[in-house]
């Protein structure tokens, strides 16, 4: 049963997750990372045997395994993968940017160069659920940005092979370098490098709390995309929304994980009650019913507000990963929203469209971090360098203010680096 709360009684603490195990997990991950750094492939094989109960000799997926995976897939699903890949490419190609250069005055040239990150490692979960959509959403923007080397690391199945749908999606995305390594040890392998797994400059991709913790610990040695937590959705709705649709979309997030969060904020008590009833009804038919029920009971909520203005304010406070706006004037509401990872407008735009096929990226900031993080994009795979050129005459015009600034900060050598150039005849 989901909680129905009046907005004046809502406390954000009701939606916070329990992080009491974090300290113990950090200790375990630190040990794994240290071991991988010291023992390389030997440690990777050890942890694969320990955590996945699989003995792996060749850590890299072979070309024949890649081909076999592609050949084994249902042709109808392969067509869906190609359709999704085309949409993702089309959307992310629009994000490409170029550098610029300007000459603001005689003798002065300045600008910005855009260069891709050279090596990127993608972590793709493959345990209780495998996500070929993650492969498309992460690899395609990296390749569009111009990343020279993209690798994927994913856990092996019990038979020692990687999930076929992940391998198929990788080939459709344009990636052929894939490793049978999962968990925190995979993050360590891509950060430090081993005899088999190359070190990269950036590690991206979702994973469980061990993977997320490992990414946090290697940040600084390599870049990462974000620290992703369990998925969440918030639906803003008025009395024009369909309770069947709303409940279905809430359960679409709840079935991910017992820690997933599904929230409805509405101005209609009638809708709130109807959605609560629909959640109970629809949940019974789900294969992952137990997971969804736990998620809804622990972290789900229906919040009733007096006005839509109040509802938008509360939504921005929660800062959801996914935001559905199921209102009569969804376009107007969109203009008032500040914090959301990805926004879905209208009663016929379920969040699942964004997960798989539409084109915008589904790698999104979770747990309130859409206040300051953005969805994964081509920008995550580029670097920006500024450049500057002054002639002697141009330098002479600004020498005095530069030297004055340097001396105000008591950095005399900075000032002298200007002065010696002026003295040179």
Is residue 386 assigned to a domain?
Answer: no
Residue 321: active-site member: yes
Is 370 part of any domain? no
What digits encode the pLDDT tens for the residues 33-62? 999 999 999 999 999 999 989 998 899 999
pLDDT in tens, 375-393: 999 999 999 999 999 999 9
The 8-class DSSP code of residue 17 comes to: P
Instruction: Determine, yes or no, domain membership for 367.
Output: no
Coil, strand, or helix at residue 114? strand
Angstrom distance (rounded) from CA 352 to CA 261: 15
Let me know whether 109 and 128 are in one domain.
yes
Same domain, 174 and 208: yes
Task: For residues 118-139, give the mean pLDDT.
Answer: 90
Structure tokens at 241: 């929304």
Domain shared by 206 and 234, yes or no: no
Q: What is the pLDDT of residues 262-293, one digit of tens each?
A: 999 999 999 999 999 999 999 998 999 999 99
What is this structure's pTM? 0.92
DSSP string, 117-129: -SEEEEE--BSSS
From 224, 247, 280, the end of a domain falls on 224
Q: Are strands 100-102 and 108-116 parallel, antiparallel or unpaired?
A: antiparallel
Residue 291 counted as domain residue: yes
> For the residues 327-336, what does the mean pLDDT come to?
94
Say what the pLDDT of residue 159 is.
Answer: 86
Can you give the residue range of the structural domain that contains 343?
3-17+230-359
Instruction: Using the 3D structure, point to which of 359, 382, 402 is the last residue of a domain.
Output: 359
C-alpha distance from residue 260 to each of 252, 297, 367 (Å): 10, 11, 10
Tell whether the model's pLDDT for residue 20 goes beyond 70: no
Same domain? 178 vs 282: no
Residues 408 and 267 in one domain: no
Report the CATH number at residue 244.
3.40.50.1980
Q: Tell me whether residue 92 is one of the annotated catalytic residues.
A: no
Strands 177-180 and 149-154: parallel
Catalytic residue among 92, 180, 256, 322: 322
Rg (CA), the chain: 25
Separation of alpha carbons 321 and 395, rounded Å: 49
Pair 187, 208 in one domain: yes
DSSP string over 215-233: HHHHBTTBEES----S-EE
pLDDT band at 425 (very low <50, low <70, confident <90, very high): low
Which of 206, 224, 242 terminates a domain? The answer is: 224
From the candidates 278, 321, 324, 351, which is the catalytic residue?
Answer: 321
Asked if the structure places residue 369 within a domain, the reply is no
Q: Examine the pLDDT at 21 and tell me if it is beyond 70.
A: no
Mean pLDDT of the chain: 94
Whether the pLDDT of residue 415 is over 80: the answer is yes
Please give the Cα distance from 376 to 150 (Å, whole number): 16
Residue 79 and residue 186 in one domain: yes
What's the whole-number mean pLDDT along residues 337-345?
97
Say if residue 147 is in the same domain as residue 240.
no
């Amino acid at each position: 049963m989901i909680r129905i709360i009046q907005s004046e009684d809502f406390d954000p603490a009701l939606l916070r997750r329990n992080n009491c195990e974090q300290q113990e997990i950090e200790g375990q991950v630190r040990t794994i990372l240290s071991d991988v750094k010291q023992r390389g492939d030997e440690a990777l094989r050890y942890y694969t045997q320990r955590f996945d109960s699989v003995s792996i000799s060749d850590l890299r997926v072979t070309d024949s395994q890649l081909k076999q995976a592609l050949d084994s897939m249902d042709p109808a699903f392969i067509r869906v993968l190609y359709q999704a890949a085309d949409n993702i490419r089309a959307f992310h190609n629009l994000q490409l940017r170029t550098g610029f250069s300007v000459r603001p005055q005689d003798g002065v040239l300045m600008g910005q160069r855009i260069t891709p990150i050279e090596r990127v490692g993608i972590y793709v979960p493959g345990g209780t659920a495998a996500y070929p959509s993650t492969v498309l959403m992460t690899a395609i923007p990296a390749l569009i940005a111009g990343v020279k080397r993209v690798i994927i690391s994913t856990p092996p199945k019990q038979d020692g092979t990687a999930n076929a749908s992940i391998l198929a999606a990788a080939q459709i995305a344009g990636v052929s370098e894939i490793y049978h390594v999962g968990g925190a040890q995979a993050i360590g392998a891509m950060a430090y490098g081993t005899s088999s797994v190359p070190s990269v400059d950036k590690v991206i991709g979702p994973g469980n709390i061990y993977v997320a913790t490992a990414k946090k610990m290697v940040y600084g040695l390599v870049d990462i995309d974000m620290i992703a937590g369990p998925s969440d959705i918030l639906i803003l709705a008025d009395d024009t929304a369909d309770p069947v649709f709303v409940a279905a979309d809430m359960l679409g997030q709840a079935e991910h994980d017992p820690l997933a969060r599904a929230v409805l904020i509405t101005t209609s008590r009638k809708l709130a009650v109807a959605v609560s009833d629909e959640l109970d009804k629809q949940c019974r038919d789900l294969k992952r019913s137990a997971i969804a029920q736990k998620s809804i009971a622990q972290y789900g909520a229906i919040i009733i507000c007096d006005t839509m203005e109040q509802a938008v304010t509360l939504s921005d406070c929660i800062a959801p990963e996914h935001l559905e706006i199921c209102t009569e004037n969804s376009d107007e509401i969109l203009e008032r929203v500040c914090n959301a990872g990805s926004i879905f407008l209208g009663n016929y735009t379920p969040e699942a469209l964004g997960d798989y096929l539409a084109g915008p990226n589904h790698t999104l900031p979770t747990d309130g971090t859409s206040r300051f993080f953005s969805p994964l994009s081509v920008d995550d795979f580029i670097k920006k360098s500024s450049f500057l050129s002054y002639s002697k005459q141009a330098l002479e015009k600004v020498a005095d203010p530069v030297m004055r600034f340097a001396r105000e900060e008591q950095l005399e050598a900075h000032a002298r680096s200007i002065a010696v150039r002026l003295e040179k005849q």
